[in-house]
Amino acid sequence: MIKLEYFTENDFNLLINWINSPELAMQWSGPAFSYPLTYAQLSEYIKSANKEAADAYVFKAINVDSGRIIGHISLGRIDYNHLTGRIGKVFVPEQARGKKVAKRMLEPLLELAFQELGLNRVSLGVFDFNIPAIKTYEQAGFQKEGLIREARKINDDFWSYYEMSLLRREWEA
């Protein structure tokens, strides 16, 4: 079983250790952060998060049995006028992969989005080569809306990503 708790300054070192390459930084956050992650970047990231009517909620995922932190996820870009939000910065460390951690992190996050915050649409972006993540999002009900081609440059390569979304009525069904 997994529970989500707010990500705090006490968790910065763990995330900094997990995100240990420019490629992982890009996969985790797109262009939102530069590598290497720093306390200053992470402090800015959580500055306005996790408060009432916040535009972002930032979480760590904890294995209830062991008490260990086994992932990171956020719901950001919350627009209360248009009732939209965006899942981002999903990360499961290598030792926890293949155990449906991302799927179990999505469940309470989507409940927060649709039930507590009353959002109508939640979107996300996932790189086209990240097949396990795409399958996880599709199993949760997300639909591909389109491929954003060669939108991110990493080293000498360009990466494409899928834009995906889930509507409240689809989640409720």
pLDDT, tens digit, 9 for 90 and up, residues 106-134: 999 999 999 999 999 999 999 999 999 99
The reported pTM is: 0.95
User: What mean pLDDT, rounded, does the chain reach?
Assistant: 96
Which pLDDT does position 54 carry in this prediction?
87
Which pLDDT does position 42 carry in this prediction?
97
Give dist(CA 44, CA 155) in Å, integer: 26
Instruction: Name the residue type at position 112.
Output: L
The reply to whether omega before 22 is within 30° of 0 (cis) is no
Give 52's pLDDT tier (boundaries 50, 70, 90).
Answer: confident
pLDDT, tens digit, 9 for 90 and up, residues 59-79: 999 999 999 999 999 999 999
Give dist(CA 159, CA 47) in Å, integer: 30
Of 67, 69, 59, 85, the C-alpha closest to 17 is: 69
Give 12's pLDDT tier (boundaries 50, 70, 90).
Answer: very high
Which pLDDT does position 81 carry in this prediction?
97
Residue 48, pLDDT above cutoff 90: no
Give 53's pLDDT tier (boundaries 50, 70, 90).
Answer: confident
SS3 label, residue 15:
helix
pLDDT, tens digit, 9 for 90 and up, residues 74-100: 999 999 999 999 999 999 999 899 999
